[in-house]
Amino acid sequence: MTGLGKDLVGLEHLSPEQIRLILDTAEPFKEVSERPIKKVPALRGKTIVNLFFEASTRTRISFEFAEKRLSADTVNVAASGSSVSKGETLVDTARNLEAMRIDMVVIRHGSSGAAQFLGSRIRSNVVNAGDGKHEHPTQGLLDLLTIRDRHGRIEGLKVCLVGDILHSRVARSNLWGLTKLGAEVGVCGPRTLLPRGIEELGVQVFDRIEQAIEWADVLNVLRLQLERMESGFIPSLREYYRVFGVTAERLAAARRDLTIMHPGPMNRGVEIDSRVADGPHSVILDQVTNGVAIRMAVLYLLAGGKPELADAAKRAGGAE
Amino acid sequence: MTPHNDRSILLDARAFARALQRMAVEITELAPDADQLVLIGIQRRGVELAERLAQLIEKDEGVTIPRGALDITLYRDDLETVGPKPVIGETRIPGDLTGRHVVIVDDVLYTGRTVRAALDELADFGRPRRISLCVLVDRGGRELPIAADVVGKAVKTGPRDRVDVGVQELDGKDEVTVRRGGQA
């Protein structure tokens, strides 16, 4: 299997080669964002709709920068204030957009499986920007790229995801991506926020953050969604910080320096200490920078890649 | 399939070296003020050729020639035929190009579409005073109104022929071969 196919729904169904293709393609796109004119014409004339049914700042802006730096034309649709709030179904919304001759849809939706559902019903390419508790593949990919930048490899590294694994699509995409590329994965968090039976996936489970810090090369600290407290998954935010908070004191006790990641938005003083988030081993802002390059790579690969045409072009004449 | 005996050597290592030497001289004749020159090689083999030409000019003229690399993949007009695994090389431009005399260096000039893309891309890095084109092999077959200023070797080819350029750094030896593909 070469190329990426029509849609990017999740990392679960990608091969290690496809994941590496995306990471390798992202490398030259980093340089595009450093140019005096941050724009290449690769997707000129393509129309992309960013269909966001859930609030998002970072991911939506990151996709939008990626699209604009590839010269695509973009339209943003937010659920509130659109026909969606008048009761239109997802498929009807997308079909109407498609009737206006669009090429791609980037979708964020509260229901797991929404991206897959949409992709199987419209001709346009679909990119999942987060669907319920399922996956957030571009976040998983940018985390992989950031780890590879920092450590030069992914295989054999020990990466621990900390916090709410149960409700996290970021955790799920990380799990798939990291294991496919040969990393050892651990999770650490309150038992109420870990999926039952996660050990069976070959994942190390740590009940204490100190053990996780002792074990890991990389900590990916997930956001604790504040509504988890109201629904009884954790007793209080202060207690969570006392038991699972990634603090400077806890990291100082580790034998080696750990790389610290966070997908944002951060709750300082809940899952992560400000001194850690802003410290020398934090790559949190590198993740944000890499996010644009990864999304450019994904859009570029989905837009191109018609193998039969490529072969025909190659037959037509040697070097140039 | 094309039989292998249709493959002939257009430039062997010695002819390759002579061509480069002559091209270096022609570039300096094109640009009297050599300190304004910037050599930009097109990925992949143009980058190696630009490096060699820059060294030759530096030896003759006693000036430092900045060089860079340009990957034009993202400026191509045929994204959908690029293939499922496009390899995008590095683009490295040595500083602002505004006011400089840029020489684009490539291995083979054919349809001219690569050069068209390179011109577009260079325009995003500044406004050079002049842009010239230098190629090791001009194989004819232009689809755009583009001509080279400096040519190592010109050869007439058809659309089914292949021209392959090998360079020491990537292929183990300097050599240009032509494989005739028969009547189109």
Q: What is the pLDDT of residues A60-75, one digit of tens each?
A: 999 999 999 999 999 9
Q: Is the pLDDT of residue A315 over 50?
A: no
B88–A28 C-beta distance less than 8 A: yes
A307–B45 C-beta distance less than 8 A: no
Residues of chain B found within 8 Å of residue A43, distances taken between Cβ atoms: 79
Quote the pLDDT of residue A231: 82
Distance CA A228, CA A287 (A): 25
Residue A254 region by backbone torsions, left for phi larger than 0, else alpha for psi between -120 and 50, else beta: beta
Helix (H) or strand (E) holding B16: helix B13-30
Q: What is the pLDDT of residues A2-48, one digit of tens each?
A: 678 899 999 999 999 999 999 999 999 999 999 989 999 999 999 99
Q: Which of B102, B94, B96, B132 is nearest to B36 (CA)?
A: B102
Distance CA A273, CA A279 (A): 10
Query: Complex ipTM, two decimals?
Result: 0.76
Q: In angstroms, what separates the C-alpha of A127 from chain B's closest C-alpha?
A: 17
* Confidence (pTM): 0.87
Quote the pLDDT of residue B33: 84
Task: Tell me the average pLDDT across B157-174.
Answer: 94
Provide the chain A residues 111-140 that lie in CB contact (below 8 A) with chain B. Answer: none
Quote the pLDDT of residue A1: 44
Q: What is the pLDDT of residues B122-161, one digit of tens each?
A: 999 999 999 999 999 999 999 999 999 999 999 999 999 9
* Nearest CB to A42; choose among B79, B85, B91: B79
Average pLDDT score, chain A: 91
- The residue of B44, B76, B79, B176 whose CB has the most chain A CBs within 10 angstroms, and thus the best one to mutate to test that interface, is B79
Confidence of residue A255 (pLDDT cuts 50, 70, 90): confident
Q: What is the pLDDT of residues A153-186, one digit of tens each?
A: 999 999 999 999 999 999 999 999 999 999 999 9
Quote the pLDDT of residue A308: 46
A43–B83 C-beta distance less than 8 A: no
